[in-house]
Structure 1
Amino acid sequence: MGRIVLAALVTAVSLGMGGQTATAEPVTSPGVTVPSVKSPDGSYIKSIEVKDSRNITLQIHSAVMDATIPVDVLRPADTSAPRPTLYLLNGAGGGVDTATWKLRTDALDFLADKNVNVVQIISTGFAFYTDWLETDPVLGVNKWSTYIGEELPTLIDAALGTNKVNAIAGLSMAGVSVLNLAINNPGLFRSAAIYSGITQTSDPIAREAVRLTVEVWGGGDVENMWGAPDNPLWVANDPTIHAEKLRGTNLFVSTGNGIPGVYDMPGGEFFPTETVLETPERLAVGAFIEANVDMFNRNLESRLREFDIPATFVYRGSGTHSWGYWQDDLKTSWPVLAQGLYSAP
Structure 2
Amino acid sequence: MAVPFAAAAVIPAVASASPVVNSVHRTPGGGYDELMVPSVMGPIKVQVQWAKNGGSSALLLLDGLRARDDRNAWSFETNAQDQFANDDVTLVMPVGGQSSWYADWASPSNTNGQKFTYKWETFLTQELPAYLANNYGVSQKNWAVAGLSMSGPAALRLGAFHRDQFKYAASFSGPLNWNAPGMREAIRAMMLDAGRFNCDALAVPWSPQWLKMDPMVFAPQLRGLPMYISASSGLPGQYDHPNSAVGVFNTGTAMGIEAISMVSTRAFQARLNSLHIPASYDFPSAGTHSWLYWQDELGKARPGILAALGASAG
TM normalised by structure 1 equals 0.79
Asked if the contact 1:171–1:326 (Cα under 8 Å) also holds between the matched residues in 2, the reply is yes
1:258–1:150 Cα change, 3 Å: same
Deviation at 1:195, TM superposition (A): 1.1
- Displacement over 6 Å in runs of 4+: 50-53
Asked if the contact 1:95–1:121 (Cα under 8 Å) also holds between the matched residues in 2, the reply is no
Q: Distance in 2 between matches of 1:121 and 1:96?
A: 10
Q: Distance in 1 between matches of 2:85 and 2:21?
A: 27
1:179 aligns with 2:147: no
Percent of aligned positions that are identical: 29
1:308–1:280 Cα change, 3 Å: same
Counterpart mapping for 1:1-345 below 5 A: 19=16, 24=20, 26-27=22-23, 54-63=31-40, 65=41, 67-79=42-54, 82-96=55-69, 100-137=73-110, 138=112, 139-140=114-115, 141-163=117-139, 164-227=141-204, 229-266=205-242, 273=243, 275=244, 277-342=245-310
Q: Distance in 2 between matches of 1:191 and 1:55?
A: 23
Deviation at 1:26, TM superposition (A): 4.6
Number of residues paired by the alignment?
Answer: 293
Q: Distance in 2 between matches of 1:19 and 1:241?
A: 36
Asked if the contact 2:98–2:194 (Cα under 8 Å) also holds between the matched residues in 1, the reply is no
Q: Distance in 2 between matches of 1:341 and 1:166?
A: 7
Q: Distance in 2 between matches of 1:291 and 1:158?
A: 43
TM normalised by structure 2 equals 0.86
Q: Distance in 1 between matches of 2:303 and 2:29?
A: 28
Q: Distance in 1 between matches of 2:152 and 2:95?
A: 15
Deviation at 1:185, TM superposition (A): 1.1
Q: Distance in 1 between matches of 2:265 and 2:18?
A: 44
Q: Distance in 2 between matches of 1:20 and 1:288?
A: 45
Residue ranges of structure 1 left out of the alignment (5+ in a row): 1-17, 29-33, 35-47, 267-272
Asked if the contact 2:233–2:262 (Cα under 8 Å) also holds between the matched residues in 1, the reply is yes
2:3 aligns with: none
Amino acid at match of 1:103: F
Amino acid at match of 2:102: Y
Asked if the contact 1:60–1:70 (Cα under 8 Å) also holds between the matched residues in 2, the reply is yes
Deviation at 1:98, TM superposition (A): 6.2
3-state secondary structure, aligned to 1:176: helix
Larger radius of gyration: 1
1:340–1:205 Cα change, 3 Å: farther
1:83–1:283 Cα change, 3 Å: same
1:223–1:339 Cα change, 3 Å: same
Instruction: Show CA shifts across 1:183-242 (max 9, x none).
Output: 221231100011111212222333233212211222111111112x33332222111221
1:39 aligns with: none
Instruction: Show CA shifts across 1:321-344 (max 9, x none).
Output: 01110111100011221221117x
Deviation at 1:249, TM superposition (A): 1.0
Instruction: Show CA shifts across 1:39-85 (max 9, x none).
Output: xxxxxxxxx9x79971111111113x2x1111111012222xx4211
1:70–1:201 Cα change, 3 Å: same
Q: Distance in 1 between matches of 2:267 and 2:70?
A: 31
Asked if the contact 2:30–2:86 (Cα under 8 Å) also holds between the matched residues in 1, the reply is no
Q: Distance in 2 between matches of 1:232 and 1:249?
A: 23
Asked if the contact 1:167–1:192 (Cα under 8 Å) also holds between the matched residues in 2, the reply is yes
Aligned Cα root-mean-square deviation (Å): 2.4
